[in-house]
Chain A
């Protein structure tokens, strides 16, 4: 069990770093969603199911989608 926890921790850290250095905005947004999902598992393992549900529903679900919509709306103006 602790092995899975460590793998998920590593997943969260790697995705966070990758989201910072990613050149593509869509990849960065999706990676931030992965961070949220991993962190929500960690919250669940730390006996905080309420926080885990909030993180999974809002962090991984809605805010990812809102960022994606925002990226699609703005990419006409900002070419990287």
Chain B
């Protein structure tokens, strides 16, 4: 009862804070940096999606940190969960044949859709993180339909390491070519606006992020699904 009251009070307090802060949220003048992004972003990067060119190019270094945080949390989960032994796996019936077949049929289209999202990250909404999450959901479908399935961890960690490595290498290529980390102009030809091969290194980086996020989340799901089976999920 006390817990519910505290919860309700917390929600009410946040609501009151929100109402108090509402007048401060009126649109104001753009700062100089923001105005540069809005006005020059399309010209400098030639990406149709301005959000992507901010996330991957202007703020690319922060995104590298974000990807590192994800990597650390996934490896932390793997480290904590792998030693959990001694729990008896509950007896469970296998999924019906319909579910297993459908999951195998649907796996490829969902992965394809995730790849579509991150390949077109510089043109349409979405990008590496969203596409990676979609790919991980395809893997989740496989794991839910067939509990005994073990993912190829070696393959996943190779993809994960290479994409992270490629991200940093792209940054250093920019550093070598133009003198700033993750530079876009002067590295690859920027191409025509609103085409698949445009916006320089942005699609390259987003494909790498998509592969990295997808393999990391797939590894996390596999670790959690098989956590209590006496470390069987970890080779």
Binding site for B on A (CB under 8 A): 13, 16-17, 20-21, 48-50, 52-54, 57-58, 61-62, 65-66, 69-70, 73, 76
Contacts and interface: CB of A to CB of B under 8 A. Distances in A.
Contacts of A61: 133, 137
B225 interface: yes
Interface in B172-191: none
A62 B87 contact: no
Grouping DSSP codes into helix (H, G, I), strand (E, B) and loop, the A interface class, with mixed when no group exceeds half, is: helix
Nearest to B15: A13
B220 A57 contact: no
Nearest to B228: A73
Nearest to B220: A66
A48 B51 CA distance: 9
A60 B220 CA distance: 17
B140 to A, nearest CB: 6
B129 interface: yes
B40 to A, nearest CB: 20
Contacts of A70: 224
A57 B140 contact: no
A50 B8 contact: no
Contacts of B227: 73
21 contacts: A13-B11, A17-B7, A17-B11, A20-B8, A21-B4, A21-B7, A50-B125, A50-B126, A52-B125, A53-B117, A54-B129, A57-B130, A58-B129, A58-B130, A61-B133, A62-B133, A62-B140, A65-B221, A66-B220, A66-B221, A73-B227
Given A17-B11, A69-B225, A73-B228, A62 B125 contact: no
A15 B8 CA distance: 12
A57 B224 contact: no
B115 interface: no
A76 B117 CA distance: 39
